[in-house]
Every structure is written in C-alpha cells, then in structure tokens.
Amino acid sequence: MLEVRDLNAFYGQSHILHGINLDLAEGESIALLGRNGAGKSTFLKALLNADPRTEGAMRFGAQTLDTQPTHTRTRLGMSLVPEDRRIFPKLTVAQNIEMGAFAAREEQKPYTIAEVVDLLPMVGPLLNRFGYQLSGGQQQMVAIARGLIARPRLLMLDEPAEGLAPVIVDELSDTINAIRKAEGRSIVVTEQNIDFARQTTDRLYLLDVGSVVFSGTWEEFSRNADLVDRYLVL
C-alpha cells in the first residue's frame, strides 16, 4: 500500500535522506529505528510533503505521490501523530480529538468519539479535561486518538514512547497493538526504544545518517547484535 523508491530529502542545501527504499503492505506494522538525527521524522514529513524537499518516487495505494500538498495526502488516508504531540491546551480532549476528523477521506466517514473511545478506552475518562491538564502519557493517547478519528489507512507514530514512564510505555504498546488488530490499517512507528518497537511492529528498517543500513525481521535483527552497538547505542 506504500511504496518508496530512491527517496532523497533536503532541507535547503542539507541533503538529509539518501536513496531510501521502503515497502509497507496493507495491515502491516513496521518500525523505523535510528538514533537522534538519523532522519526518522524527516522521512515521515517527506511522505506527507510537510517540510523537506524530496526527490524520488512514492506510491500510496493507487496514487502516485508527487506534488500533492499535505492536506491532500491526509485526505488520501495518511495520518501523522507528531513527535511533539501538539495538543491544544485550551481545548478539551474531545475537541482536540475532533480536530482530526477534518482529515477524513471523502468516501469514509470519520469515527465518532464513542468509537474512538472503544479503540482507546483510556481517553474515555479524559474527554472533558483541557489539554493543559494532561500528563505526557495522556497527551500521547489523545494525540493518537486525534490521528485515528479520520480512519487513516496509514497511521504514522513519531517516537510515541519518548519521555514516558515505563508503565505508561507498556500501556501504549497495548494500545498500538489493539489498533493494529482493528481493520486493515498500516502503521509506521519511529523509535529509539527497541523493546517498544519490537512489541508493536512486524519488522523494521534501521536508519543511520539518512540511509537504510538494515531492513528485516526482528529475528534477523537480533541475530546481528552489532547493529545495536553500531547504529543505536549513543
């Protein structure tokens, strides 16, 4: 459902991503691992035409992605839960989540808030709170709910576990696994937390300085112990 061929991305004169090839099937969940600055967020933004300039070929479902602006790509069913979560502090949780419904595809009604709460039960008790009243873990759950309400075909989670306490990270991985089971939704999770990524995805790509240095199953990754030392340990 997603096909990326020889993708290069640039910020001004800086060449950030170098010839990325990546495939994602419908219903599949993949991790994009790499240390800080490896290019994970740039890759997600490149898919959405959100910031960097890109060269290369991308296909999403039946569509060739070339000049479509970000809002058109979201309407095609791509949804990003950004690294910094971007919860509106003065809106309620329900209002924050509803903001995501504007991105719904024309042929697809968004979920209702009640349906979102079925998928993410922990946001239920939070609906009337204001954004500024949420803990980091709650903000992450609300950001996922907002990313999900439009029923995206591709949900992209940018370092969702970052900065969260271990017990919250466990809850988050249960949440993502529940979402994975629902319908034929594809998921990309970028992470530096290897255990979390392993628990929530089928296989992985490893990025270093803007290039894919490994792709394969978690089992293959485990058999190459040096990958962690070379590309992930700081």
Specify burial of residue 81 (Cβ count, 10 A radius: 0-12, 13-18, 19+). buried
CB under 8 Å to 107, separation ≥6 — which residues? Answer: none
- Residue 97 exposure: Cα atoms within 13 Å on the Cβ side: 29
162 binds, among Mg ion, ligand ADP, none (CB under 5 to 8 A by kind): none
| DSSP designation for 110 | P
13 binds, among ligand ADP, Mg ion, none (CB under 5 to 8 A by kind): none
Q: Which is nearer to ligand ADP, 16 or 104 (CB)?
A: 16
Q: Which is nearer to ligand ADP, 130 or 231 (CB)?
A: 231
Q: Shortest gap between Cβ of 73 and ligand ADP (angstroms)?
A: 18
Q: Angle, nearest 10°, between helix axes 166-181 and 136-148? A: 10
Q: Which is nearer to ligand ADP, 11 or 132 (CB)?
A: 11
Binding site for ligand ADP (CB under 6 A): 11, 14, 16, 34, 36-42, 51
Residue 41 in the binding site for Mg ion (CB under 5 A) = yes
Task: Give the pair of three-digit tokens for residue 94.
Answer: 């329900």
Residue 193 in the binding site for Mg ion (CB under 5 A) = no
Point out which residues bind Mg ion (CB under 5 A): 40-41
